[in-house]
A = this chain, B = another copy of it.
Amino acid sequence: MSEERRRAVLHAIVEGYVATHEPVGSKALAEQRELGVSSATIRNDMAILEEEGLIAQPYTSAGRIPTDKGYRSFVDQLAASALSDAHRRAIGTFLSDAVDLNDVVERSVRLLSQLTRQVAVVQYPSLRESSVRRIEIVRMGAEHALVVVVSADARVEQQSIALGEATSDDAFERAVREVNATAHGLSGARLEAALTLWAQAPDQVPWAGAVADVVVAATRGGTVERVVFAGASNLARAGSGLEATTIAPVLDALEEQVVLLRLLHEMAAEGDDVTVRIGAETHHEALSRTSIVAAAYGRDAASLVGALGPTRMDYPGTMAAVRAVARYLSKVVEL
């Protein structure tokens, strides 16, 4: 049954190419790998693999390199491999003394970029709906005010609103007192109803509606549409196999967020433990030379953490690191 050996050959080609970044030939394979067959046999297998579109040669009579499809086949047959103990410990110590949510995310993304030597990406964790703990409204100049909402789970949201017209100090203070009394401890539909009522009261300050909107938005659950990344230099580092002109669009995509968020959403929908998008599978021109490995974390597995690098990357290692960081993040965030 040559089927199995062909898989082994593909496996060897992927590993060889990832390691050396050079096309790998039949002879080298026969010598270095212990496949127990001659180079000629390997050549025959290669011909079939090439017909199947799993490998390609950059030019006639060079070695073979895996295609996106080849990487895909390789990844699909990968058994979950474990992370080294040293790495495992590193994760624990690195994340344990974070002071707040931002800090957790920040540390995670740094850590993951170091573990994988790729660009690490962390989407902000999804938040559950929370109730109002305290609302502050702070005057900023004559026309603006800043609404600060502290929710029961210690999230803090702030947003500036326009006052529209002059408001007396008296009315201002009354509004703050009232809105706190109205909203305290409430959440969801009941909060919304209470605030609407309050905002529509006769004689109400004209910006009450704006305040209500901010408060409702601040306590609403769901995923914050924001990703942070770190380790961009890994893209440019020698041996990444990416050219400067290839890197620029990738950096743009990272900064733009939109593209990345859409991609992460798609990947989250697949529901696997760790999902991998390879090259063109990202469905995005800028990322067509890169792969992304992502895993969900947090409540309902609604947020993603991932690593992005050249298609020619160490998939087993990266997948293990991403999986491990996702697990730890889940633990920390679900508190």
Contacts and interface: CB of A to CB of B under 8 A. Distances in A.
Contacts of A150: 134, 136, 138, 148, 150
Given A136-B150, A148-B156, A156-B148, A233 B245 contact: no
Contacts of A154: 136, 138, 140, 146, 148, 158
A136 B134 contact: yes
Interface of A: 98-100, 133-134, 136, 138, 140-141, 146, 148, 150, 152-154, 156, 158-160, 230-234, 236-238, 240, 242-245, 247-252, 255, 335
Contact of A249 (B99, B156, B160, B233): B233
Contact of A231 (B136, B153, B255): B255
A80 to B, nearest CB: 30
A232 B251 CA distance: 7
A100 to B, nearest CB: 5
Nearest to A240: B244
A265 to B, nearest CB: 22
Contacts of A251: 232-233, 236
Nearest to A231: B255
Nearest to A242: B244
A35 B240 CA distance: 47
A288 to B, nearest CB: 16
Nearest to A156: B156
Nearest to A138: B154
Contact of A335 (B141, B245, B250): B141
